[in-house]
Chains A and B, each alone.
Chain A
Amino acid sequence: MRSRLYIGFLAVLLVVVVFMPWTFLKYLVVMAIAFGVVVAAYDFASVRSGYINLGQTFVMGVAGYGAAFMSQSLVYSAVGSTLLGAFGGLLLGFLAVRIRGAYYAIATMVMPLLLIVLARTAYSVFKGDDGISVWALQSQINIDSAAAVLIAVAALMAYLTKTRFGLIIRSISYDEMLTISSGINTALYKLGAYIIAGAATGVATFYLVVLSGIMSTALIEPIPWIVYMLLASGVKPGDVVWSFSIGASLYIVDVVMRASFPNLRLFIISLMLVVTYAVLSKRYATGG
């Protein structure tokens, strides 16, 4: 029943985008959907398997630079972004296999920060905070097909949570020792989940980069992006449908904040995170 509702919701979303008459709003909604996919992927691999991953923007960064460096061709750019996203996911997955808990959170937090330092230091290659322009690709993109691809990726993520693979990923967060004792190589499953999530993030990042026309360090900054991911996935951890929907909504909220009160943006975001987790921790503490 819930699966049907979700498919219905995605179908309605696609119809709304296709028939939306205002171009600016159409672009905004598709970018919001792209960020929703990033959050759904984040939830699928990290939150679902019980890991506090603060480095998802590293995957976005690796994929985004891949899209930018291969921007001579739309196809190469899309494929490059997806493959590099999968590679970024693999690196996070390796960390998830080797370390746990706070150490994992710290190690992953360092990764996007290192990438930002690299992008600023090697300015001639990455163009630092100014970014690499990919405007040329934007005219080649069909916004309706972009929405269709992103919605298909969101649907795929949701479908995977219903499979045995998704169930095993979830079981790791509950009791990894029991999962192992059930004959499961949890390391392989974790790596698989991170690669899939990385590839999905790569697809979404490609559209975020192409539709915004630029790839810069702004896309790798853990604040606000990781904060939004934590917010969106915190409401119903492990439920990619919720994460996708809230993630997409937060992207629109962020655009509104950037336009209306940019100086208060980070304050509001921090407040949102603190309040959300205070409420959630109370709820989980009382078993509600």
Chain B
Amino acid sequence: MDSVYKKFGGVIALDNVSYSLNRKEIAGIIGPNGSGKTTLLNVISGLVKPDKGKVLFKGEDITKLPPNVIARRGIARTFQQPKVFQKFSVFENMLIATNDRSKIYDSLKRVGLDNQIFRNAGSLTILDVRRLEIARCLALEPEIILLDEPFAGLTTQEAVLLSDLITSLYKDLGASFVIVEHRLKYLFKLAQRVTVMHAGRVIAEGPPSDVISDKKVREVYLGV
């Protein structure tokens, strides 16, 4: 992402933000509410178009591409509020993303939902909804997976299970992950690099251990 600027009414959501992601990397994004984290994911996935700046993917400018094309090109995402089609079965949820049955079964198996294929998605636990969201991403054969607050609402035990799942997917697939998260304990275990945002700007970036000790980060985000 190169010098992306996005304004909603009078609020500057992203103020000339440049952000890059390496191949096969788990990158974290943290910051207080309203700092522009989700807008950043929305711009990358094409759901929000920037006022200025460019989004490049493998050297190609994808800024103006529709979000469905971006998803097919290999940038899949989940949402802050878990989004699945609650009235559909797990299988039907997957069928929206792909018609390839083997890909559906493979993706569900990877996330551990292969034994719940015909269960109604509305009756799944929050952890399983998160798994289903990730399986839907996998069905798109992504190169980048954007996870928006995947640990929100999970119990400690569930968060550990999800963390293990992300780790195993990271090892098995060649994909990169961008994880926006408030529960730093889980994020810092996963991420190799963390970006800190505040008021639409990147204020710090680096390995989790460096970021957490950054004076400015502690001041604006951790309040210490």
Give residues in A with beta carbon < 8 Å to B.
164, 167-168, 170-171, 174-175, 177-186
Q: Is B96 an interface residue (CB 8 A)?
A: yes
Please tell me which one of the listed residues B47, B84, B95 contacts residue A164 in the complex, with CB atoms under 8 A apart: B95
Give the contact stretch, choosing among B3-11, B25-33, B64-72, B157-165. B64-72
If A179-B96, A180-B68, A183-B71 touch, whether A171 touches B88 (CB-CB below 8 Å) is yes
In the bound assembly, the distance between CA atoms of A175 and B84 in angstroms comes to 9
Complex Cα distance, B96 from A180, in Å, reads 10
B107 contacts A by Cβ under 8 Å: no
* Bound-complex Cα distance A213 to B71 (A): 52
How far, in Å, is A241 (CB) from chain B's closest CB? 17
Would you mind naming 26 contact pairs between A and B with Cβ atoms under 8 Å apart?
A: A164-B96, A164-B99, A167-B88, A167-B96, A170-B88, A174-B86, A175-B85, A177-B47, A177-B83, A178-B85, A179-B96, A180-B66, A180-B71, A181-B45, A181-B47, A181-B67, A181-B68, A181-B76, A182-B97, A182-B140, A183-B68, A183-B71, A183-B140, A184-B68, A185-B66, A185-B69
Contact with A along B82-125 (1 / 0, CB 8 A): 01111110001001110100000000000000000000000000
Chain A residues lying within 8 Å of B193, measured Cβ to Cβ, are none
Q: Are B136 and A182 in contact (CB under 8 A)?
A: yes
**Is residue B131 contacting chain A, with contact meaning CB distance below 8 A?**
no
Which bucket holds chain B's interface residue count? 20 to 34
Seed contacts A167-B96, A170-B88, A183-B71; 17 additional CB < 8 Å A-B pairs = A164-B95, A167-B88, A167-B95, A168-B96, A175-B83, A175-B85, A177-B83, A178-B79, A180-B68, A181-B67, A181-B71, A181-B79, A182-B68, A182-B97, A182-B140, A184-B68, A184-B96
Decide if A178 touches B83 in the complex (CB within 8 Å). yes
Output the least CB separation between A188 and chain B (Å): 9
Chain A contacts for B92, CB-based, 8 A: 167
The answer to the question of B77 belonging to the interface, with a C-beta cut-off of 8 Å to chain A, is yes
**What 5 pairs across the A-B complex have the smallest Cβ distances?**
A183-B71, A182-B97, A183-B72, A178-B83, A182-B96
Smallest CB separation, A186 vs chain B (Å): 7
- Closest-CB distance, A192 to chain B (whole angstroms): 15
B47 contacts which chain A residues (CB < 8 A)? 177, 180-181
Which residues of B have CB within 8 Å of A170? 88
How far is it, in angstroms, between the C-alpha of A177 and the C-alpha of B79 when the chains are bound? Answer: 10
A182 CB to nearest chain B CB (Å) = 4
Instruction: Give chain A nearest CB distance to B91 CB in angstroms.
Output: 10
If over half of A's interface residues share one DSSP class (helix, strand or loop), that class is named, otherwise mixed; here it is helix
Which residues of chain B are within 8 angstroms of A168 by Cβ–Cβ distance? 96
User: B residues within 8 A CB of A178?
Assistant: 79, 83-85
Please, which residues of chain A bring their CB within 8 A of the CB of B76?
181
Which residue of chain B has its CB nearest to the CB of A175? Answer: B83
Q: Smallest Cβ distance from A165 to chain B, in angstroms?
A: 10
Partner of B87, one of A174, A177, A181, A185: A174
CB distance from A39 to the nearest CB of B (A): 22
| Interfacial chain A residues near B87, Cβ < 8 Å | 174
Query: How far apart are the CA atoms of A183 and B97 in the complex, in Å?
Result: 6
User: With A and B bound together, what is the CA distance between A164 and B45 in angstroms?
Assistant: 24
Closest A residue by C-beta to B73: A183
In the assembled complex, the CB of A198 is this many whole angstroms from the nearest CB of chain B, namely: 24
Nearest A residue to B86 by beta-carbon distance? A174
- Assess whether A174 is in contact with B67, with CB atoms less than 8 Å apart: no
B193 to chain A, nearest CB (A): 25
C-alpha gap A170/B86 in the complex (Å):
12
Query: Which residue of A has the minimal Cβ distance to B45?
Result: A181
B71 to chain A, nearest CB (A): 4
Contact indicator B68/A171 (Cβ below 8 Å): no
CB-based contact B83/A185 at 8 Å: no
B95 x A181 contact (CB < 8 A)? no
In the docked arrangement, what's the CA distance between A153 and B83, Å? 35
Given contacts A183-B140, A184-B68, contact A174 B96 (CB under 8 A): no
CA A167 to CA B95, docked complex, whole Å = 8
Inter-chain CA distance A185–B66, complex, in Å, is 9
Decide if A182 touches B99 in the complex (CB within 8 Å): no
A178 and B67 alpha carbons, distance in the complex (Å):
10
B37 to chain A, nearest CB (A): 17
A179-B71 Cα distance, complex, nearest whole Å: 11
CB distance from B127 to the nearest CB of A (A): 19
Q: Which residues of B contact A177 (CB under 8 A)?
A: 47, 83
